[in-house]
Structure 1
Amino acid sequence: MTQTEQFTEPAVRSRPHRWPPGDGVGVFHDVRLAVARPEHRRGGSLEARLTERYLAALGAAEAGGQPPECWRPLFQYRRHPGVRPVQFALAGLHAHIAHDLTLAVVDTCRTRDCEPAALEGEFERVGDLLTLLEERIHDELLPDPDLLRIADPLTHLVSSWSLERAREAAWSAARVLRQLHGSPALAEEFRQRTDAGAGLVVRFLLTPAAGARTPMWLPAQSSGSSTGAISS
């Protein structure tokens, strides 16, 4: 059985990929599938819970519901002609880290009755997976460097995002959320603000190319505080 088959059984197989070529959601889904590992099938692992969070967002959107705020821009802009495939993939990756990974850590801590420090080893292994995902995005979706000028907006956009900063922010947010488990109202407020902040970064990553027209069907943008993944 291939890695792709292992990732698609059983959860993803129930959501067959019927997206047309160039669909932004499909772009991220394809690269996420390509780096999936057998370990995710262990139900209690951090990687399994990370996958479950992504599938929950995907399922909510496909059912006509509302996915987490950080995922909404990807679904809203998925057919925008001015957004490049590499932007869709990085936007999905940021939502996957800033939201899904943060909550996956909290979910795992709650289930095991432990603190985030006990998951550092697993967190690093998941980080290795995410690094592979980023490398695949750059190798397969980023235009030939020889074709990109240093002043090209896409060059600036892609280089402004940092996987390491996104991971660090997710880890910090998870630690705070875990500390707030005794104060449900505060924990929920922090979770919502983290989700909204991640959504702002996702919208930034999906900035259409200069001169591209914004389709009339795109809804208005929401507001929120950003999370630390944009390099200065």
Structure 2
Amino acid sequence: MVHPQQLTTVDAVIGRMRALDAALPARDGVAVFNRVYLAVTEAVDRSIGSGRFGDARAAIALDVRFAERYLAAVDAVAEDRRAPACWWPLFQLRRHPGVRPLQFALAGVNAHIGHDLALAVVDACHTLGCEPAELEDEFDRVGDLLLTLEERIREELMPGPDLLQLADPLTHLLGSWSLERARDATWSAARALWALRGVPDVAEDLAERLDRAVGLAGRMLLTPLPH
């Protein structure tokens, strides 16, 4: 469920993420992901401003509905409510000394792309009164930005050559997950959820199963590694 204080602009999303960045300890796993997501959102905002998105209204709706699901998970934990299963591993292990920053970042990306994005597409379709196919171009452009950012995350957060003993198991672990594959699966899930909107019990069951499956992948990505 989206937090009652829904955000309406990309600037509002960026403001909330910047406030989180200022409030959380730098090493906190949620803070690591938040910095990554803030960079993505700022890049999307610049792209919307420069006219890169053909339909700015659709891009804004998708971006805001998407961000609301992450921020709702943050709010749930802050209010002692349980976060969705896809987010729970990150919140549970956010201070674990054996989990590396790269793992935190990609576990957050996994939760947000693997689960939240599919539901955000459906949310945006309801907001705009359109079909998922009408958002496909915006979905693809956001995905392209995320792929570029994933490369930067791995470059910046991967341990250096002096930590090869650590990097070997880390490389093996993270090689099992791909943002591009997750994005493709998300688009299929979004279309299926939209097609099932007239059968809410079936749609809810599919969303819950997706939530749990993505949470399982997140728990794997956050496997503690030796120092």
- TM-score greater than 0.5 by the shorter chain: yes
Q: Tell me the alpha carbon deviations over residues 74-114 of structure 1, each in whole angstroms, 9 at most, x when there is no partner.
A: 00000111111100000000001011111111111222232
Q: CA RMSD in A?
A: 2.5
For residue 203 of structure 2, what is the aligned residue in structure 1?
187
Q: What does 1:43-58 correspond to in 2, within 5 Å?
A: 44-58=60-74
The aligned counterpart of 1:134 is 150
Segments of 5+ residues of structure 1 without an aligned counterpart are 213-232
* Cα pair 2:113 2:182 within 8 Å, conserved: yes
How far residue 16 of structure 1 moved from its aligned partner, in angstroms, is 5.8
Q: Count how many residue pairs are aligned between Structure 1 and Structure 2.
A: 207
Q: Which has the higher helix share?
A: 2
Q: For 2:170, give the aligned amino acid.
A: L
Post-superposition Cα deviations, 1:194-230, rounded to whole Å, max 9, x if no partner, equal 00000000000001114x7xxxxxxxxxxxxxxxxxx
TM-score normalised per structure 2 = 0.82
Which shows bigger deviation, 194-203 or 127-136? 127-136
Contact 1:28–1:93 at 8 Å: present in 2 too?
yes
| TM superposition shift of 1:149 | 5.9
Aligned to 1:227: none
**1:1-232 map, 5 Å:** 6=11, 9-12=14-17, 15=20, 17-37=22-42, 38=45, 39=48, 44-144=60-160, 147-148=163-164, 152-210=168-226
The change in CA–CA distance for 1:164 and 1:69 in structure 2 (over 3 A counts) is same
Q: Kindly indicate whether the alpha-carbon contact (under 8 Å) linking 2:13 and 2:67 is maintained by their aligned counterparts in 1.
A: no
Tell me the TM-score normalized by structure 1: 0.80
